[in-house]
Amino acid sequence: MTRERKRRIEGFIALALSTLAALLGLFWLIFILGDVLVHGLKALNLSLFLNDPSPPGTEGGGLRNAFVGQLIITVFATLIGVPIGVLGGTFLAEYARGRKIARIISILSDIMVSVPSIVIGTFIYAILVRPFGHFNGWAGAIALSIIMIPVVLRTTEDMLSLVPWTLREAAFALGAPYYKVITQVVYRGAATGILTGILLSIARVAGETAPLLFTSFNNSFFSLNMNQPISSLTVTIFQYAMGPYDNWHEQAWAAAFVITIFILLLTITGRLIIKWRYR
């Protein structure tokens, strides 16, 4: 075999393997999504959203408590996390721009984004659950907001940095103080980007389970009281999937379907906005 031929064959094999790798990635995605779709659609019905769970082992019932609980926890996490994240990002991109402290905080935030969420759960357990003696919704919402803050902070910083400096100078020239320049000029220029960051951060925390296991815990009854344990879809999926009843498994699949679709829609929307606005 000539050297030339050997190189050709080697190249062909390597490129074929790469193509196989890409197909494997697609295969997993289709496999997982398809599975969630098939099982989820089968179990999906109206009573899932309208009824509360029936006693274990009996047929029927729904997950109204979990849907509502998940919504409340996520909304409160967003209400706490987004303002802190946006303001923090503002500091890094505006007041501390180019300073060492801004770099340190952005690097730490990038690390925080990937810190195991279960560790944040144990942290919140120690400061917000144990002192009060019972699991509560607030602890869950705050745990999620701590996961959210670095995500929002980093996207805000990046998006504000994209706003041209000349725009700020134009506003300064009119005599506007810096805070007015930021709130009325810079924020407006970066609004879509910040919104995208918020969407993606909601998508990030909406599927979190580990930090909720020992903060908001779970509640098999309908509850709106954030001072008490509150149910969430993800923790319910965990308990139902691990549980012994077929009925539970079906409902877990349905819940998994709803939450997956919700998160994928948020993610795709976010990506599309970035594409449409920033490329």
Partner 1 sequence: MAAISKKNPVDLIFSFVTAIASFSVIIFILGILYVLVSESSLAISRFGIIKFLTSTDWNPVTESFGALTNIYGTIVTTFLSLLIAIPVAIGIAIFVTEISPNFLKTPIGIAIELLAAIPSIIYGMWGLFTLSPIMSNYVEPFLKKITAGIPLVSVLFQGTPMGIDILTASIILSIMIIPFTASISRDSFNLTPAVVKESAYALGATKWEVVKNVVIPYSKLGVFGGIVLSLGRALGETMAVAFVLGNNHRITTSLLDAAATITVTLANEFAEADNDVYLSALFYLALVLFVMSFITLAIAKFFLLKAERKYSR
- Binders of partner 1 among residues 210 to 239 (CB under 8 A) are 210, 213-214, 217, 234, 237-238
Q: Report if residue 260 touches partner 1, rule: CB under 8 A.
A: yes
| Residue with Cβ nearer partner 1 (68 or 259) | 259
Q: Which stretch binds partner 1 (CB under 8 A): 47-55, 56-64, 65-73, 102-110?
A: 102-110
| Residue with Cβ nearer partner 1 (50 or 247) | 247
Instruction: Give the shortest CB-74-to-partner 1 separation in angstroms.
Output: 13
At a CB cut-off of 8 Å and minimum separation 6, what does 259 contact? 70, 206, 207, 233, 234, 237
| Residue with Cβ nearer partner 1 (50 or 211) | 211
84-123 per-residue burial string, b: 16 or more CB within 10 A, e: under 16: ebbebbbbbbbebeeeeebeebbeebeebbeeebeebbbe
Q: Give which of 228, 71, 211, 235 is closest to 144, Cα–Cα.
A: 211
d(CA 275, CA 279): 6
Site for partner 1 in 103-142 (CB under 8 A): 105, 107-112, 114-123, 125-127
d(CA 24, CA 29): 9
| Residue with Cβ nearer partner 1 (7 or 188) | 7
Instruction: Give the shortest CB-233-to-partner 1 separation in angstroms.
Output: 9
Q: Report if residue 28 touches partner 1, rule: CB under 8 A.
A: yes
Site for partner 1 in 70-99 (CB under 8 A): 83-92, 94-97
| Residue with Cβ nearer partner 1 (57 or 103) | 103
Q: Report if residue 263 touches partner 1, rule: CB under 8 A.
A: yes
Instruction: Supply 144's token pair.
Output: 């999620």
Q: Which stretch binds partner 1 (CB under 8 A): 45-53, 54-62, 65-73, 207-215?
A: 207-215
Q: Give which of 79, 71, 43, 46 is closest to 222, Cα–Cα.
A: 71
Q: Let me know the angle formed at the C-alpha of 116 by 110 and 118, rounded to the nearest 5 degrees.
A: 140
At a CB cut-off of 8 Å and minimum separation 6, what does 136 contact? 128, 129, 215, 216, 226, 227, 228, 229, 230
| Residue with Cβ nearer partner 1 (50 or 178) | 178
Q: Report if residue 14 touches partner 1, rule: CB under 8 A.
A: yes
